[in-house]
Amino acid sequence: MSALWTARALAAATGGTASADFAVQGVAFDSREVTEGDLFIAMKGEATDGHKFIDKAIAAGAAGILCETAVDHPHVRVTDSAAALNALGVASRARSRARIVGVTGSAGKTGTKEALFAALDRFRPGKAHRSVKSYNNHVGVPLSLARMPASADYGVFEMGMNHAGELAGLTRMVRPHVAIVTTIAPAHMEYFGSEEAIADAKGEIFEGLEPGGTAIVPFDSPYYARLRAKAEKHAGHIVSFGLGEGADVRAVDWLSDGKGGSLVTAQVQDALLCFTIAQAGAHWVSNALAVLAAVKAVGGDLPAAGLAFAEMGGLAGRGARHRLPVAGGEILLIDESYNANPASMAATIEQLGSESAGRKVAILGSMKELGPGGDAWHAGLAAPLVAAGVQFALLVGEEMAPLAKALEGRIDFEHVAAHSAATARLGDVIRAGDIVLVKGSNSVGLSHVVTALTHGDY
């Protein structure tokens, strides 16, 4: 296996000084994630200093260190580790001949990124690379770039933001050949004030497009024209995707496959493709259309993409489905615990309503960063819950108070302050035959509720 980085290449990329010759196969900045052969980047953060964990990283198998001080291990010494990580990401992009895709949006970023990776990896096994987890910020993006093998044919990078101008910096580092905006929704309203401002910030992804690059935009979005106008300033080609008549890539027909997924017939510009999506919900149909548009734009294989959709399992925190034993039978757990905004909440609750059997239970956590309109957005979830036929809702977090008030006399519910209190109530709330949706902003910690349910620890 060829090295991801040599000491000489690291020093050249970062302007640092190598203490010895060494080679690494991976890159990490969290000592808990270091594996055999990795480069450990010791970075100073607000809470701690990675230099304190250098010995731990070496014990875990690190082959070299990138750091700001001399150490008794093979290392490259730099003046600023954070700046060096950025430089390493830039150098990785500069040496790559891969076709690069950038993905952003208010919802669906990670799922779309994972599906696109699966589609390209099925076409060219071992030759596709993507950012892992939700490494989509000013640290995660350069780390993901630094991890990209020079031999990769495709790179897929998720990019996020919660302030104007952030995405512009990330996309100029990634320099995508194809840039996708999945959807626009009222996420981070606390920092933007309007959905128009969010659309403008998401449209920054087009600013980093390579000359002649392709912008992929959501046709069904009320901000389609706004996004398209932005794309026209930077893209050589613009491709729209959606369920509506007129989209360049659209679902001609789709229906449930009876197993929680969908059977889809899609028009992909001049091609017609029939495929199955293992994931549930209309939002996954939309995600798949964006993926197909990107696959075509980078010269991938559409039938391989169709097969990849059928093979994709649920992502932890983003739609993973678990059948779990309980007293007297089992429950179906739908894990959407990683994040939430008003649009994704409504879509997921609607999908819960389409489930064909069982009592429907929703364990919902607060939606964060909604700003002054937060109370109304939370209260607005009452109608989707009622329409979906949810029989019981367990509401978690103080921001859920307006929803609790809106649900009075409409469905049974409880309102608790924290995930620990929600976990304590599971034994009384959950019963055999239930379909249980767990969804909320990541900071609410509903992943702890999911863990308790999957381990039977309640």
Residues 306, 326, single domain; the answer is no
Q: Is residue 173 part of a domain?
A: yes
- Band of the pLDDT at 347, cuts 50, 70, 90? confident
Condensed to tens digits (0 to 9), the pLDDT of residues 61-111 reads: 999 999 999 999 999 999 999 999 999 999 999 999 999 999 999 888 999
- Band of the pLDDT at 23, cuts 50, 70, 90? very high
Residues 380, 280, single domain; the answer is no
Is the overall model pTM greater than 0.75, yes or no? yes
Residues 254, 116, single domain; the answer is yes
Condensed to tens digits (0 to 9), the pLDDT of residues 309-342 reads: 999 877 777 788 899 999 999 999 999 998 888 9
d(CA 29, CA 104): 23
Q: Are 112 and 290 in contact (CB under 8 A)?
A: yes
Predicted local distance difference test score (pLDDT) of residue 61: 97
Domain stop point among 265, 293, 311: 311
CATH code of the domain covering residue 11: 3.40.1390.10
What contacts 62, CB < 8 A, 6 or more positions away? 24, 28, 34, 37, 38, 39, 40, 73
Residues 60, 102, single domain; the answer is no
Average pLDDT, the chain: 93
Q: Which two tokens stand for residue 216?
A: 């992929």
Condensed to tens digits (0 to 9), the pLDDT of residues 405-454 reads: 999 999 999 999 999 999 999 999 999 999 999 999 999 999 999 999 99
Domain stop point among 251, 277, 311: 311
d(CA 160, CA 148): 19
Condensed to tens digits (0 to 9), the pLDDT of residues 413-427 reads: 999 999 999 999 999
Phi, psi of 153 (to 5 degrees): -90, -25
pLDDT mean over 1-6: 90
d(CA 8, CA 64): 12
CATH code of the domain covering residue 387: 3.90.190.20
Residues 212, 299, single domain; the answer is yes
- Band of the pLDDT at 189, cuts 50, 70, 90? low
Q: Cα dist. 180→20, 176, 293, 411, 444 in Å?
A: 42, 10, 9, 39, 28
Q: Which two tokens stand for residue 456?
A: 């039977």
d(CA 32, CA 152): 26
Residues 152, 176, single domain; the answer is yes
Residues 348, 279, single domain; the answer is no
CATH code of the domain covering residue 258: 3.40.1190.10
Tell me the one-letter amino acid at 326: V
Q: Is the pLDDT of residue 191 over 90?
A: no
Predicted local distance difference test score (pLDDT) of residue 446: 97
Residues 366, 243, single domain; the answer is no
Q: Cα dist. 28→5, 41, 74, 99, 418 in Å?
A: 13, 6, 16, 24, 32
Predicted local distance difference test score (pLDDT) of residue 193: 76
Condensed to tens digits (0 to 9), the pLDDT of residues 372-394 reads: 889 999 999 999 999 999 999 99
Predicted local distance difference test score (pLDDT) of residue 1: 67
- Band of the pLDDT at 162, cuts 50, 70, 90? confident
Domain stop point among 56, 81, 106: 81
Angle at 33 between CA 112 and CA 145, to 5 degrees: 50
Distance of CA 440 to the CA centre of its chain: 15
Residues 158, 177, single domain; the answer is yes
What contacts 233, CB < 8 A, 6 or more positions away? 206
The boundaries of the domain holding residue 382 are 320-455
Closest CA to 25 of 162, 195, 149, 120: 149
Count of the separate structural domains present in the chain? 3
